[in-house]
Structure 1
Amino acid sequence: MAYDAIIIGAGACGLMCAVQAGFLGKKVIVLEKNDKPGAKILISGGGRCNYTNIGATHEQFISANEHFVKSAFKQWTVEDSINFFETYGIYGAEKTLGQLFPEGKNAKDVVNVFTSLCEEMGQQILCNAEVTSINNNDGEYQVNYRINQKEKTIAAPKLVIATGGLPIPKMGATDFALKFARKHALNIVETAPALVPLTITGKDEDWFAQLSGNSVFCKVSNEEASFEENILFTHWGLSGPAILQISSYWRRGQEINIDLLPNENILQILSTERQHNGRIQLSTLLNRFYTKKFTDALGKFLPLSKTIADLTKAEMEALEQTIHYFKVKPAGDKGYDKAEVMRGGIDTNELSSKTLESKKLIGCYFGGECVDVTGWLGGYNFQWAWASGYVIAQCI
C-alpha cells in the first residue's frame, strides 16, 4: 500500500496526527513500539486522563523560544480539542484550575476515540513494531522495523517523529527522537525530568520523612515561577501538584520558598488573636490551620508551648519566616521513572513553527514531547500534543 506518511509513535501526538490526516483523505501508517497504542494516555491522571485545560495559552509552557507554540495553538485551539472529543462522546468535567477530565469516562475511552477512527478510515496502527533504522533515498523516507521477529521495510515521502520523551521507561519511553535528531545534526536543548517529585537528603531528611503522607496547601516559588496548590510530604522528600509544577523551573543547587499559609498573614492573625485570648498556646493557634502532626513538627523551629502573649519579637520573626518563607534546598529529583514529562528536547529553532517540519530534513516533522515544549501540570501537555498532531497532519 502507498502511504502519504509514516508516523513513528502512537501516543497523543501520533494518534491525533493519524486521525486528522485521515480526515483529509491521506493514508498513514503508525509504528508503535509498545503492544498497544496510547500507553501514556492510559496512565495519565491516574487513568482518568486530564485531556486539556480550558486556560491553556503559550504562557504555561517552558521553551527556549516562549513564542514557538503560538502558531500551533492558533491552528488548533482548546475549543477545538473540546469540540473534537465531544463529537465522539467525550464531554469534559472541569476540575481544579481549568483541568478537563472525561465526564463519566476514562483514559481508555479517549484512546478508543482515536483507534476507532483510525480503523474506520483505514489508518493502520502497527504495535510491537520497533524501528531499527531510517534512510532518506531520493526524497523518500525508508523505515526499517522489526515486528514478530521479522525485519520489514516501508517507505513514504513524509516522516513524523512523535515518539515522546524520556519519562517512565517502563512504559516504553526511549531517546529515539533525540538520537535521530542528533544523527542528522539537529540541535538538542538540554533535557531533564520535569513535573517530578523532589528529594531531600542530609540533616533535614528525617524531619521531612516523619511527615510522610501530610498534605498542605501552599504557595511554592522561586525566582522564575510560583504555584498555589497542595504539597505532599513523602518519606524521601516532597511531591504534590505545587512541587511538580515548580520542579520544571528548578535546577540542582537552588532553593525553593514555601509559603505554608498563602493569602493570610500569620502576624496579623497572631495580633488579632492576642486581643481576644492571648493565653492560648502557639500550638493551639497553628492547629487551626494544620494537622496536629504537622504543627508538632514545626516545634523544631517554633516555641509551640509558649502562649501567644509571651512571644518575643525574635520569636514572632521566626514564626513569620517559618510560615511564610520556609526555605527548602532539594538534593535532587526522582528522575525519569517518576517524572510526568521531559524538559528540553529538539530545539524549536530547527523547526518551522507553522508546520513543525524540520528545516534541515525536508519532509520530516517532529511533534509532542520530543520537542523543546514543556507544559505545566493539568492537561497542558496534552493540548500541545493534540495541536502539534493536527498541525503536522495538514502538511503530510
Structure 2
Amino acid sequence: MSTNLIKQTDFDAIIIGGGACGLMCAVQAGFLGKRTLILEKNDKVGAKILISGGGRCNYTNLYSSPKQFISQNEHFVKSAFAQWTVDDTVSFFETYGVSGKEKTLGQLFPTSDKARDVVKIFTDLCHDLGQIIKCEAEVKSVEQTGNGFEVVYEQHGREVRVGATNVIIAAGGLPIQKMGATDFGLRTARKFGMKIVDTAPALVPLTITGKDQQWYEQLSGNAIFCRVWNDQASFEENILFTHWGLSGPAILQISSYWKAGEFINIDLLPNENITELILQERELNGKKSLLNYLATIYTRKFAEALEGYLPIDKNLASLSKADLETIEDLIHNFKVKPAGDKGYDKAEVMRGGVSTDELSSKSLEAKKVPGLFFGGECVDVTGWLGGYNFQWAWASGFVIAQNI
C-alpha cells in the first residue's frame, strides 16, 4: 500500500463525514474564507439526506426548539439553536433555490420533493468555495501532533496522511450500517478519554414476540390514529401494525423514550370517549352489534381482531356497565410490552453518544482536546421525528464552522 503525505498547512480543518453536519460545516467555513477537506466513506456525500423522508428530505421543522430533543443535558442545544435558527435554515435553502412546503406538524420538505436538490446545494457550494470532497475515503485514525492533528485515511487501496489545525467529527451514528454507518465518532471520542452516553436505536419500530405475535401479524397493514405515551412523553400520530409488531410515526417517536422491559400505553381513540359514543349510538340503534359499530370507527379487520378482548357479538343495547368499562379500558388504555426494537438498520437515528459534558455548548469543541469538534448525530442530542435531527445537524455544522 502506497502512502501520500499532504502538507500540514493545506487545510484549516478536516471534516470526517459528508452528511448534513459535515456539509453545512464545510460551506459555512468556506463563507468565512477557511479551507476544509471532507472525508466521506461512501461513494457520494449526503447518503442519509438522500433517503430521508422517502427520498423527499424533511429538512427542518418549523416548531423546532430544545423541547424536542433528548439529551442528558436538556439545555445543551440552546446555544447552537440561538446561533442558527429555523429561520436561518429556511433562508439558507431559499437563497440557493430550495423553497419549502409545510406538511403535518411543522415538517418542511422541498417543494420539488427531491432530496437530491438539498444535497446539490452543498456539493455546488463546496465546489464554488474551493472546499475539497474526497469520497470512498475511510478514515483509519486521528492523531494529535505538535501543531494540530494528522488524519490517516485509505482511498482506493492507497493510504493518505493529511494534517490540519482542526478536526471535525461529523461521522454520524450507528444507523444505518448498509449505508456506511460505523462507531468511528464514538471510538475517536473514547480514544481521547471522553465520556460516552450509552447508545441505543431511536425512532425505531418495536417488535412483539411470543403469544401475542400472531395477533399483531393478522393486523399487518392496519393504521390507526392514536395517542401513545409512557411516563416520559406522549405523541398523537398514526401507529402501524406490522407482521413483527408496531411501527408508524407515534411508535417511532415513543421508541426514543422506551427501554426494554417497559410498557407503552396506547389510546386507540384520542380526543373522544368510546363509552359516550356507544351510548349515543345505542339510542339510535340498540340492535347494532358492537362489532358493526366498531367497524365504523376502525377497519373491520381491526374490529374483528378485538374478539378475544371485547364482547363484539353483543348488540349495543345488551352491553352491561362492566362491558362498557372493559371497552373503555381497552380502547383508551391499550397496554403493550414490546419485546425489543428492529435495531440500528431500521432506526432513523441513534440515542446517546458523545457526552455533552465533554463539549463546549457554544463551540462544540472538545474541552479536553483543543481543535477537536463533534457535531450531528454522534453527540448525545437526539431529536424527534419530523426534521428536528436535520435542524441539529445544520446548527451544529454552522457553530463549528464559526470556531475553527
Aligned to 1:191: 199
Distance in 2 between the 1:139 and 1:193 partners?
37
Where 2:14 maps in the other structure, the secondary structure is strand
Where 1:287 maps in the other structure, the secondary structure is helix
Equivalent residue for 1:282, pick from 290, 301, 305: 290
1:181 matched to 2:182: no
Q: In the TM superposition, what is the alpha-carbon distance from 1:135 to its structure 2 partner? A: 1.1
Q: In the TM superposition, what is the alpha-carbon distance from 1:280 to its structure 2 partner? A: 1.1
- Checking the alignment, whether the CA contact within 8 Å between 2:201 and 2:344 is kept in structure 1 is yes
TM-score, with length taken from structure 1:
0.99
Equivalent residue for 1:17, pick from 14, 25, 39: 25
Aligned to 1:215: 223
Q: What runs of 5+ residues in structure 2 fail to find an aligned partner? A: 1-8
Distance in 1 between the 2:151 and 2:46 partners?
21
Where 2:403 maps in the other structure, the secondary structure is coil
Distance in 1 between the 2:62 and 2:54 partners?
20
For residues 246-295 of structure 1, give each alpha carbon's deviation from its aligned partner in whole angstroms, at most 9, with x where no partner exists.
00000000000010000000011112122222221111211111000010
Equivalent residue for 1:328, pick from 336, 358, 379: 336
Where 2:399 maps in the other structure, the secondary structure is helix
For residues 342-384 of structure 1, give each alpha carbon's deviation from its aligned partner in whole angstroms, at most 9, with x where no partner exists.
0000000000000000000101000000000000000000000
Distance in 1 between the 2:142 and 2:332 partners?
54
- Checking the alignment, whether the CA contact within 8 Å between 1:6 and 1:160 is kept in structure 2 is yes
Distance in 2 between the 1:24 and 1:193 partners?
36
Aligned to 1:147: 155
1:381 matched to 2:397: no
1:96 matched to 2:96: no
Aligned to 1:366: 374
1:165 matched to 2:173: yes
- Checking the alignment, whether the CA contact within 8 Å between 2:50 and 2:119 is kept in structure 1 is yes
- Checking the alignment, whether the CA contact within 8 Å between 1:266 and 1:323 is kept in structure 2 is yes
Aligned to 1:123: 131
State the 4+ residue runs in structure 1 displaced beyond 3 angstroms. none
Distance in 1 between the 2:104 and 2:306 partners?
29
The count of corresponding residues between Structure 1 and Structure 2 is: 396
Equivalent residue for 1:205, pick from 180, 198, 213: 213
Equivalent residue for 1:316, pick from 300, 324, 345: 324
- Checking the alignment, whether the CA contact within 8 Å between 2:57 and 2:113 is kept in structure 1 is no
Give the stretch that moved more between structures: 101-110 or 163-172: 101-110
Q: In the TM superposition, what is the alpha-carbon distance from 1:139 to its structure 2 partner? A: 3.0
Distance in 2 between the 1:40 and 1:104 partners?
18
Where 1:246 maps in the other structure, the secondary structure is helix
Equivalent residue for 1:228, pick from 230, 236, 242: 236
Q: In the TM superposition, what is the alpha-carbon distance from 1:321 to its structure 2 partner? A: 1.0
Aligned to 2:51: 43
Aligned to 2:73: 65
Aligned to 1:251: 259
Q: In the TM superposition, what is the alpha-carbon distance from 1:148 to its structure 2 partner? A: 1.2
Q: In the TM superposition, what is the alpha-carbon distance from 1:105 to its structure 2 partner? A: 3.9
Where 1:392 maps in the other structure, the secondary structure is helix
Equivalent residue for 1:31, pick from 39, 43, 49: 39
Amino acid at match of 2:164: A
Equivalent residue for 2:355, pick from 347, 350, 357: 347
Q: In the TM superposition, what is the alpha-carbon distance from 1:174 to its structure 2 partner? A: 0.1
Aligned to 2:146: 138
Distance in 1 between the 2:46 and 2:112 partners?
20
Distance in 2 between the 1:46 and 1:267 partners?
39
- Checking the alignment, whether the CA contact within 8 Å between 1:21 and 1:28 is kept in structure 2 is yes
Q: What runs of 5+ residues in structure 1 fail to find an aligned partner? A: none
Amino acid at match of 2:298: Y
For residues 217-269 of structure 1, give each alpha carbon's deviation from its aligned partner in whole angstroms, at most 9, with x where no partner exists.
10000000010000000000000000000000000000000100000000111
- Checking the alignment, whether the CA contact within 8 Å between 1:90 and 1:105 is kept in structure 2 is no
Q: In the TM superposition, what is the alpha-carbon distance from 1:297 to its structure 2 partner? A: 0.4
Where 2:11 maps in the other structure, the secondary structure is coil
Distance in 1 between the 2:79 and 2:51 partners?
29
Give the stretch that moved more between structures: 57-66 or 263-272: 263-272
Amino acid at match of 1:23: F
For residues 15-41 of structure 1, give each alpha carbon's deviation from its aligned partner in whole angstroms, at most 9, with x where no partner exists.
000000000000000000111000110
Amino acid at match of 1:130: E
Where 2:89 maps in the other structure, the secondary structure is helix
Aligned to 1:304: 312
TM-score, with length taken from structure 2:
0.97
Where 2:52 maps in the other structure, the secondary structure is helix
Distance in 1 between the 2:152 and 2:38 partners?
13
Distance in 1 between the 2:64 and 2:382 partners?
12
Q: In the TM superposition, what is the alpha-carbon distance from 1:322 to its structure 2 partner? A: 1.1
